[in-house]
Chain A
């Protein structure tokens, strides 16, 4: 398996890396104090803030948030599950309507000013769902009211009356910077827009543009508007915010309008999604809600961490009691195991939930299993009269098939849990999976090398 020439060197590397990871694992910033260099008159700051990664070495510039992601059950907050009702949307346009609905929710949630919301869209067969996670104690009544509303798309034109500064906030956001005069709302709304698509310009250069298709009433309204506004801007407003204000080049009578400009592919796509969210208004239905009060969240976090620490210590004590020196070495491997798992949680990052922490703690128990298998095997070999060094080697190689086979069956269950589970179950499955995978590494590589180094002194007790 492992063929490092010198286990001592290998262990040194493992411990060194583990030490670095340990400091990254610590959830709060650490202050090592300041060092004043009198010669160059500079102060070196030894602050280690492990909630951010700020790498700036020559060409390598990495900036990342490196704090633990806590699930709503641990930090408190509300999770909302919406079903997008596609009853009135033709099946060919459902994906567009879905993207539109998600976009609307994105903007509304951002507008609401929640810190770090997460929004996921989920398509299950013919079901379209959007899950909104709002951490912290949010005004849920207001949030629900705002998020659940169907999107409103309106078209505006410039009026003739001068606008007074005081009334600027009476109009949708952004309109007063487009128009000098008072904006007027036209009769045309999202109801009259059949769909929007990204097309590519016919003028040869193929620049992306957005094409609008109106219904018959929409065509009529739009013809009136464009006839009135040649050379002027018509503003498109979604949920009270101006999203586009193209200039009318000529009257459009057939209902096929194109918004062109120096769009990039992404910009055209984003405008198309916004227009569709108004054109294909799919009502949102709240089908699931879960609110955890902040007090319960913190309580759960504290309790599960305490449970984990006590569990960890008891396992270490138990192992030392059972296997003495090897037990101690296994506990050292267990510490490294914990450091690595926490590091992976932080880096990927894995959202920590109550079930996830339970999965992790459970995997501590399983991590020890590989060591127990090996140690028991070593004892057997010693009992058969083999010298300690040979017994160590045989213990590892003979225990390996059992370790491999039994862990694969556990990994199979984690895959199935992940595939069929929702939210909490997935958190548990991921934590358990990472735990099992890392435990194999720590048991096989770390403990093995620890034993190799201390092999000379190890006298496996005969029973």
Chain B
């Protein structure tokens, strides 16, 4: 089996997943939750027949500006508004209970604009610094490898695979936001960073094997060394990812609504991470190697 030869096909497949996400991202962006924008969110459940218009009116009566009303679970409404003061919220709950006696307040969050802006900038910083730290670490871990591919190129390819995974997750959530009004919150950023860790984790295992095999087989062409390394680690990559995916599926099915989208983000990222570490990262290394070789030959 040769999984290096068909590299263009694998890159194409990645493109098919990533490009629609990028288009959606350009057109609709992401739907940031109140974690980033600031605002209030009131979630309540009911037994039967709550009319959205009536709910809207109750909020309007208290001069609360409603941004959106979503059904987040069966018989559960989530109302997002501009930041609400506690007395206003209490009055709204009282009015709601007068009209629908069986409603239960599930949660209420208010995020001030300062905290929102801060969370946003921290999230960006975290993603940026994580990427830098990981590149440095890989360059360090592979410092002994220099032939035929420099150690920092391993780092760059691992980061490329990581970017791939970030784009997949962000793109999917842009589409989900557009289709199902799924919002992006602090937990999403957490999922993203976890995916980054996992993606590199996976890529390193493959690269490690390439490093080891390069030390043993001087005679084989680089492409074959990479292919052998991939094949040797294939079982491990698939089995590990499968265990994590099994665990996440259990969480998705039984874990409740509060972390549903968090788990979806992790799942998407880990599937993408497995794919990119098997079908993209090492192939990229080969493409780079061949490109370098061609350039050298031209110079000669």
Contacts and interface: CB of A to CB of B under 8 A. Distances in A.
Q: Do A and B come from one complex?
A: yes
Interface of A: 73, 81, 83, 124, 127, 140-141, 144, 286-293, 295-296, 299-300, 303-304, 306-308, 310-312, 314-315, 318-319, 322, 354-355, 358-359, 361-362, 364-366, 368-369, 372-373, 376, 380, 398, 401-402, 405-410, 412-414, 416-417, 419-422, 424-425, 428-429, 432
Contacts of A380: 232
B198 A410 contact: yes
Contact of B235 (A83, A358, A376): A376
A290 B109 CA distance: 4
Given A355-B259, A376-B235, A410-B198, A293 B105 contact: yes
A405 B190 contact: no
A144 B86 contact: yes
Interface residues of B, number: 67
A358 to B, nearest CB: 6
B241 to A, nearest CB: 9
Contact of A303 (B125, B141, B254): B254
A207 B87 CA distance: 49
B247 A376 contact: no
A307 B197 contact: no
Contact of B246 (A141, A365, A410): A365
A373 B250 contact: no
Nearest to B114: A287
A315 B247 contact: yes
Interface string B180-209: 000000110110011011101110110011
Given A81-B115, A144-B86, A365-B248, A416 B187 contact: no
A405 to B, nearest CB: 5
Interface in B88-114: 90, 104-112, 114
Contacts of B232: 380
Shortest 9 CB-CB contacts between residues of A and residues of B: A287-B112, A413-B197, A303-B256, A365-B244, A311-B250, A307-B255, A420-B126, A311-B247, A307-B254
A405 B140 CA distance: 10
B122 interface: yes
B193 A416 contact: yes
B205 A354 contact: no
Contacts of B175: none
B187 A424 contact: yes
Q: Is the interface of A mostly helix, strand, loop or mixed?
A: helix
27 contacts: A141-B90, A286-B86, A289-B108, A289-B109, A291-B105, A292-B107, A295-B104, A300-B258, A303-B254, A310-B254, A311-B246, A311-B248, A311-B250, A318-B246, A355-B190, A358-B259, A361-B250, A362-B244, A365-B243, A366-B244, A402-B205, A408-B137, A414-B197, A416-B193, A420-B123, A424-B186, A425-B187
Contacts of B118: 124
Contact of B259 (A141, A354, A409, A419): A354
Given A358-B255, A368-B243, A412-B197, A307 B250 contact: yes
Interface string B141-160: 10000000000000000000
Contact of A362 (B134, B186, B248, B253): B248
Contacts of A144: 86
B236 A373 contact: yes
Interface string B215-250: 000000000000000001101100110111011101
Given A291-B105, A401-B212, A406-B202, 6 more contacts: A358-B259, A402-B205, A405-B204, A416-B129, A420-B126, A432-B194
A308 B248 CA distance: 9
Contacts of A364: 247
B299 to A, nearest CB: 35
Contact of A409 (B197, B244, B246, B247): B197
B209 A402 contact: yes
B98 to A, nearest CB: 17
A310 B235 CA distance: 24
B216 to A, nearest CB: 12
B272 to A, nearest CB: 16
Nearest to B195: A413
A299 B232 CA distance: 44
Given A290-B108, A409-B134, A362 B240 contact: no
A385 to B, nearest CB: 16
Given A141-B86, A422-B119, A288 B111 contact: yes
Contacts of A409: 134, 137-138, 197, 200-201, 204
B263 A358 contact: yes
A291 B187 CA distance: 17
Given A409-B134, A432-B194, A304 B251 contact: yes
A405 B210 CA distance: 14
Given A290-B108, A318-B243, A362 B256 contact: no
A417 B209 CA distance: 29
A186 B108 CA distance: 43
A321 to B, nearest CB: 10
A362 B270 CA distance: 11
Given A290-B107, A314-B246, A416 B141 contact: no
Interface centre among B104, B118, B243 (most CB of A within 10 A): B243
B243 A315 contact: yes
Contacts of B246: 311, 314-315, 318, 365
B247 A402 contact: no
Nearest to A432: B194
Contacts of A308: 250-251
B126 A303 contact: no
Given A362-B194, A410-B201, A413-B197, A372 B110 contact: no
Contact of A354 (B208, B250, B258): B258
Contact of A293 (B106, B186, B189): B106
B194 A402 contact: no
B205 A406 contact: yes
Contacts of A322: 239
A405 B202 CA distance: 10
B208 A401 contact: yes
Nearest to A412: B133
Contact of B108 (A287, A291, A318): A291
Contacts of A398: 212
A422 B114 CA distance: 14
